[in-house]
Structure formats: structure tokens, C-alpha cells
Amino acid sequence: MTDSNSHNGHVILIGAGPGDVGLLTLKGKDWLSRADVIIYDYLVNSNMMRFAADSAELIYVGKKEGHATLTQNEINELLIQKARTKKIVVRLKGGDPFIFGRGGEEVQALQEAGIRFSVVPGIPSPVGVSAYAGIPLTHRDHASTISIITGSNEAGKEDVKIDWEKIAARSGTLVFLMGARKLPRIVEQLIKFNKNPDTPVAVIQWGTTARQQTWTGTLDTIVDIAMKEKIKPPTLTIIGEVVNLKPVTDWYETLPLFGKTIVITRAEAQAESFIHMLEERGAEALLYSSIKTVPPEDSRPLDQALENLSDYDGLIFTSMNGVQFFTQRLREKNKDIRELKGVRIYAIGPKTEQAVRDLHIKVDTVPENYVAESLIESMGSENVSGKKFLLPRAAVAREVLPDTLRKMGASIDVVPAYQTISPKPSDISFLKRLAEGGIDVITFTSSSTVTNFLDRLDKEHHPKLKNIAIACIGPVTQKTAEDHGLKVSIVPDEYTVKALASAIETHFTS
């Protein structure tokens, strides 16, 4: 890092890794959350932008199939320009910034301009992609050295920096980055300089993502395979005896949901655990949030209830959001959980129950099924007549619970603790994948995710949904989806996100 310049901001070069969001480092994630500006490349997984602040400026400077939006010099100038506004500027690059990532050129430009910079390494694509392809780059019996070579060169400088004779003579593993178009040339030169034509070869496309595909052959056969399969960038090519270990060491491509792309529509703040469950099964989880939870427009009804908590016999939570926003407002009003002394607590669903328990508050009743009707059934065994309940919930929700309790002789105050709104437009990668037919499942975890999702989607895209499996967390959400003309094919027996992930797996493996 250079000496700090008090008149400028700070540029952080971050290696995003080879594709899987989970391979981003903790330090990289931390800087993304603090960035004012994020300048990112084509091979960066757009799902990483969920770690960015809503206020962050996102600038795409990617290079796809030889076409660059900005030249390297223009990117250097952009970094300098943004840093001079005293901002935290993140330069997010695929793989590692200093392994064929031109990070060295960028820090040279920053150094000359007197801009403070830091570097956060990333998992290089040879390391990450080979591991996800189930091919160890070294093995005591097969390879003790690795050579990493760029498979592409600057226009007009064909092979100027590659000594093919020396590379062909190497006995370890050869790894060529971004060499899909140059594969015939690479093979030709290696064989020309006496590399055994029977040497095993693997070509991996979109490594570490659900779109990963691996083709294996030999130097003698791989070009024909590539032409037949029409292999396109981005690819990584591994040449050496270690390729033969793939049938034994493969793990990622054998996962139950490998190759499936599953869209998550729930609120970004609640999506992380669901994303992990799907990725652990090999799926690509594509976040396209259709709701965002925020405080209600008018907090006065909730505030009034908080001032009179001792008047209530029971407090009913129907969601984690209800717990979160209720306790947040409690703290804002300079109150704490002691106000709930003597109040009976009801919670619908294990996640809601756990959110209450995390506050060190005992939950008195959790219904057998995680819907309002089941809670009513549980409360029916109590004598609720004449008792008073508080229900802090979303500003718009079903009236089954309060209406039924009133019929049972109870009084209930329903107060908005939060509201759901449509978030800012998501990354366009979802619409692109939808248009290409590259989505297998769309998941809905509440009725509002259904309605907001369809409201945000232009009518012209609706026909594309017919060929996609629709998964709903429970019967209420299912009914909303079907009322909007969607054919629901996946609903778990237990109405939780964990059960939904398992139901998706069963749908594709049964």
C-alpha cells in the first residue's frame, strides 16, 4: 500500500475468485459492504453485489469475448477519478488481481497518481476451477510442478511471450487460462515440440458455477471434441496426468442439484441461509429480490401498543420480521424485554420461535403447522375469550388470525411493525438468463414475493415462466401463485426454507 494522500480516497483491488460467491474472502466482502463505488469485470458473479450498500455506485467495465467496454488505460483513469472524490473505490476482478488480472498495471497507475491503494487477493481460477472439476493440480504420483500460462495474447502479438519448446518439455501440469479460441493453436504447438499426443486434457467452462461443464480427452482428440461441443469462453484447460484422477476425485459435478439455476425472490436480508442450502446441493442460487422490509409509514399505532404492553395477555409473532421490527422499535423507545413480563408469547414457525428465543424470551406456544390456522387451533384449547392480544405484523397481511380470534371472544390490536416494498431494480442478469431459458426453478416464500415479482416482471417475460418449476414455501403462497396463473410443482410438507430446499432436491432426484 502507498503512503496515504489526505486529498484522495482509497482504491481496493479485490480478487472475486473464479465464480462461486462463497469463494470471495471475508476481507473482500467487508470492503464491498463499505464501498462507495464498485468497478467490476465480466467474470465477477453479479450475486456479489448483494454485499454492497444500497447507495453504492456500480460500474461495469467488463470485457466479453474480445469486446471491452473500456480500455485498460480508461479503467485506470476511472479509478483515479473516482478516488479523487475521497471515496472508497473497490476494483472487483475475477480470480486474483495479480494473476493475469492486470492488477499490477492498475496499482502502477494509482501509485503514479498518488492514490492510496490496498490489494485483497482472491482464489485464482486455476486453483478454484480445478478443485471444482475434481482435478488436483498436483499429486505425488503424477505431478510435482504446475505451469500457469495465458491462453490469450494481445492483438498482433501472437505467441510472442510463449516459449512453446520449453513449455512442451515440462513434465508437470500445464494450465492454460482463457484459451478456448486458441485451443487448436495450443495443441498444435505442444505436439510440434514433442508433447505426447496421448497426454490427458480437460477443458472446464464456467468453473465453480452451476453452469460448469467439463470435457476430457487427449491432446490428440480434444480439438475435435471442442469443435463438436462448440465450447466457448470462459474456459480453463488442464493438461497432464492429473486429469485421469477426475473419476475418483470428482465431487461438485455429482451434487444433487448440480447444473440447476434457482431464483430466490425473498428479501435480500433474509436470503443468505437459503442461498447456502441450495449451493451446498450444487445449485446456482440467483438472487432477484422482489421484496424489501422497512419500518411502517406510521409507527404511532405500534408506539401506542408499546406504551401499554402490560394491558395485553398475549403477544403473537407470525414472522421473523415481526420480531425484528418489534424489538427494534422497543429499543428506539428506550424500553426492553422487561416490559413483556407476564405476557404470553405465541410464534408461528421455528425461525420465528428461534428469533424470540435469541432475545432470551420464552415462547409459550408454537403451532404444529406453520400457518395462522394451526395457531388458531392451538389457541382454541385455551380459554381466549375476554383476553387481549397484540399482533405486530406486516402492514398488509391476511386477516384470518385476527378475525377468528375476535369470533372466539378475544380482543386483538393489529399494528403494523413493518411493511414490504419493492426494492431497487436488481441486476439484469436475471432477465438475461430468463430470456435464454437458463432458469430451472423460481422460489416464493410469501404471497408478497409472488405479487411483487410478477408486478416487476414485464408482461412480455411472463410466457417464459411456463417452462420453469415454481416452488412455494406453503399452501398460502401456493394459492397466491396459482391465483396469478402460475403452475406450482413444488411445495414442502413442512413450511420452512430448509424443507423447501429439500423439496427442490427431491423434485429433481426422485
Question: Do 154 and 46 touch, CB atoms closer than 8 A?
Answer: no
Spell out the residues 6+ positions from residue 25 whose beta carbon is closer than 8 angstroms to its own: 14, 15, 17, 120, 121, 122, 123
Structure confidence at residue 156 as a pLDDT band (50, 70, 90): very low
- The pLDDT value recorded for residue 1 is 46
Question: Do 172 and 198 touch, CB atoms closer than 8 A?
Answer: no
Spell out the residues 6+ positions from residue 103 whose beta carbon is closer than 8 angstroms to its own: 13, 91, 93, 96, 97, 119
- Give the separation between CA 47 and CA 34, rounded to whole angstroms: 17
Find the mean pLDDT for residues 394-416: 88
Report whether pLDDT(4) > 60.
no
Query: Which CATH code, of 1.10.150.120, 3.30.310.80, 3.40.50.10090, 1.20.810.10, is assigned to 294-419?
Result: 3.40.50.10090
- The pLDDT value recorded for residue 292 is 82
- Give the separation between CA 22 and CA 222, rounded to whole angstroms: 31
- The pLDDT value recorded for residue 337 is 81
Report whether pLDDT(176) > 70.
yes
Find the mean pLDDT for residues 414-424: 85
Judge residue 455's burial from the number of C-beta atoms within 10 Å of its C-beta, 0-12 exposed, 13-18 middle, 19 or more buried.
exposed
- DSSP code per residue over 115-168: -EEEEE----HHHHHHHHTT--S-BTTTBS-EEEEES---TT-TTTT--HHHHH
Calculate what percentage of the chain has a pLDDT beyond 90.
Answer: 64
Q: Where in the chain is the domain with CATH 3.40.50.10090?
A: 261-291+423-509, 294-419
Residue in the structure block whose three cell numbers are 491503494: 117
Find the mean pLDDT for residues 460-485: 94
β-bridge mates for residue 346, sequence order? 316, 365
- The pLDDT value recorded for residue 145 is 95
- The pLDDT value recorded for residue 130 is 97
Q: Which three cell numbers stand for residue 261?
A: 439455476
Q: Where in the chain is the domain with CATH 3.40.1010.10?
A: 10-122
- The pLDDT value recorded for residue 379 is 78
Structure confidence at residue 11 as a pLDDT band (50, 70, 90): very high
Find the mean pLDDT for residues 325-335: 92
The reported pTM is 0.76
Structure confidence at residue 2 as a pLDDT band (50, 70, 90): very low
The most confident of the ranges 58-67, 194-203, 422-431, 461-470 is 194-203
- Give the separation between CA 319 and CA 392, rounded to whole angstroms: 9
Report whether pLDDT(154) > 50.
no
Find the mean pLDDT for residues 340-364: 89
- Provide the annotated active-site residues: 41, 63, 178
State the architecture of 261-291+423-509 in CATH terms: 3-Layer(aba) Sandwich (3.40)
Exposure string for 18-53, b = 16+ CB within 10 A, e = fewer? bbbbebbbeebeebbeebbbbbbbbbbbbbbbbbbe
β-bridge mates for residue 68, sequence order? 63
- The pLDDT value recorded for residue 79 is 95
Judge residue 172's burial from the number of C-beta atoms within 10 Å of its C-beta, 0-12 exposed, 13-18 middle, 19 or more buried.
middle
- The pLDDT value recorded for residue 86 is 85
Residue in the structure block whose three cell numbers are 490427458: 200
Report whether pLDDT(3) > 60.
no
Q: Where in the chain is the domain with CATH 3.30.950.10?
A: 127-249
Task: Find out if CATH 3.20.20.80 is the number for domain 127-249.
Answer: no
Question: Do 288 and 422 touch, CB atoms closer than 8 A?
Answer: no
Find the mean pLDDT for residues 244-250: 95
Picking from 238, 277, 236, the residue whose alpha carbon sits closest to that of residue 260 is 277
Report whether pLDDT(110) > 90.
yes
Report whether pLDDT(134) > 50.
yes
Find the mean pLDDT for residues 224-247: 96
Question: Do 227 and 250 touch, CB atoms closer than 8 A?
Answer: no
Phi first, then psi: give them for residue 387, nearest 5 degrees.
-95, 160
Mean pLDDT for all residues in the chain: 90
DSSP 501: H
Question: Class for domain 10-122, per CATH?
Answer: alpha beta
Find the mean pLDDT for residues 293-318: 92
